[in-house]
Amino acid sequence: MSNSIGKKLVVTSFGESHGKCIGVVVDGFPAGYKIDLDNIQKEMDRRRPGQSNITTSRKEEDKVEVISGLLNGVSTGAPICMLVWNKDVDSSKYDELRWTPRPGHADYTAEIRFGGYQDYRGGGRFSGRNTAGLVMAGSLAKELLKELDIEVLAYTSKIGDVEAPEITFDEIRDFTESNVVRCPHKDTAEITLNLLEKIRDEGDSIGGQVRAIALNVPPGIGNPVFGNLEGELSKMFYSIPAVKAVEFGAGVGHAEMRGSESNDEFLLEKGKIITKSNNCGGIQGGITNGMPITCIITFKATPSISKPQQTVNIEGMMPCTVEIKGRHDPCIVPRAVPVVESAMALVLADYLLEAGHIKQFKEADK
């Protein structure tokens, strides 16, 4: 069941980069929610290729079509199937790459796993394009979270060695979408943009990090042992292509911290229990403590680069060289921001449904 995820809110993904469509079925979505398709489209537009000069030039409108689960725009409790049709498909380059797995890509592992039958065009099932499904599903999840005043924020926190300084939630809200890098810190954004243009012109690519935050999640969400929240968030994040590290709170920094530094002391604030610091990233023992959930997701560089690279012709089992033409993002991080938000929203909505914070259907307004 490698194409489904979730317990109460189950997301099933289908489609290929150069197939007919990218689609998703969301099962377990509660009944009675008015779905604003414009909101979903807005999220999709943030993820869309061709949105700026530092993204691939593939032109996809990515117009979302809902083909089940709604009645007069309101969720019915039935599975919601959503699609975007692939339109600007150019598979011409992939035939010549058929037997020369591209370094950094999944071409070789796909070949072994699926016995050579995989849809190899445009990365097929392994393409970042599949995250379109995640964003459609995640946008639905966000609608549920909104009802509970939960907010999910994400932004580009680092690309190469350019890292944004600490920043307020309001700055993230206000400035993330103000630039194509999706970095709310203006100076960092500018430096990064220059870096990305340079790298693009060199035919190279680069990695980076997205920082994600969920605000206002009630305490008590999650489980000890195997059902812990970090584990599920992490599993979901790793389903996004190119993710190579997932950290919570102080993350890898914990290795160098003493207990007397890293322990988050409890305080009372207006009769509510909060913690003084938030090194645990809002999760203790796999369960939320009511503080912001914070995580950092590291993406490796886009593997498609035009520089010549060594590989092996797997048909003839001979070494050879590959140069990758075509349309590619010099860095996937800016477009990954809405994907990370969606991933986070889906996991949280799943837990909130399980914990009973969201019911099977919306109570009618009185």
Among 39, 167, 190, 207, binds its own copies (CB under 8 A): 207
Length of the chain: 366
Give SS3 for 104: coil
Q: Whole-angstrom Cα distance, residue 148 to residue 142?
A: 10
C-alpha 1: how far from chain center: 20
**Tokens of residue 322, six digits:** 């590959």
CA angle 193, 180, 60 (to 5 degrees): 125
C-beta of 4 vs 92, nearer to its own copies:
4
Site string for its own copies, 310-339 (x = CB under 8 A): xxx-x--xxx--------------------
Question: Residue 42 or 252: which CB sits closer to its own copies?
Answer: 252
Judged by CB under 8 A, the stretch of 4-12, 164-172, 178-186, 334-342 that binds its own copies is 4-12
Among 14, 37, 51, 327, binds its own copies (CB under 8 A): 14
Q: Which of residues 273-292 bind its own copies (CB under 8 A)?
A: 273, 275-276, 279-281, 283-289
- Count of chain residues binding its own copies (CB under 8 A): 155
Provide, rounded to whole angstroms, the least separation between the CB of residue 48 and its own copies: 20
Is residue 128 involved in binding its own copies (CB under 8 A)? no
Which of the residues 35 through 74 are near its own copies (CB under 8 A)?
Answer: 67-69, 71, 74
Candidates 169-177, 181-189, 334-342, 351-359; binding stretch for its own copies (CB under 8 A) = 351-359
Q: Which residues contact 194 (CB under 8 A, 6 or more apart)?
A: none
Rounded to 10 degrees, the C-alpha dihedral 357/336/245/329 comes to 170
Q: How far is the CB of 170 from its own copies (least distance, A)?
A: 25
**Angle, CA of 182, 169 and 162, to the nearest 5°:** 40
Q: How far apart are CA 341 and CA 338, in angstroms?
A: 5
